[in-house]
Amino acid sequence: MKIKNELKNNINVVSLSGDVDLSNSPQVRKVFTEILSDKNAQILVNLTDVTYMDSSGLATLIEAMQKAYKNGGSFRLFGVQGAVKNMFEIARLDKVFTFCESFEA
Instruction: List contacts with another protein (CB under 8 A).
Output: 19, 21-23, 52, 54-56, 58-60, 62-63, 66, 82-83, 86-87, 90-93, 96
Closest approach of another protein to the CB of residue 93, in Å: 7
Instruction: Name the residue nearer to another protein (CB basis): 48 or 56.
Output: 56
Instruction: Name the residue nearer to another protein (CB basis): 21 or 103.
Output: 21
Burial 91-103 (b: 16+ CB within 10 A, else e): eebeeebeeeeee
Task: Give the span between the Cα atoms of 38 and 62, in whole angstroms.
Answer: 18
Instruction: Tell how far CA 40 is from the center of its chain.
Output: 16
Closest approach of another protein to the CB of residue 34, in Å: 17
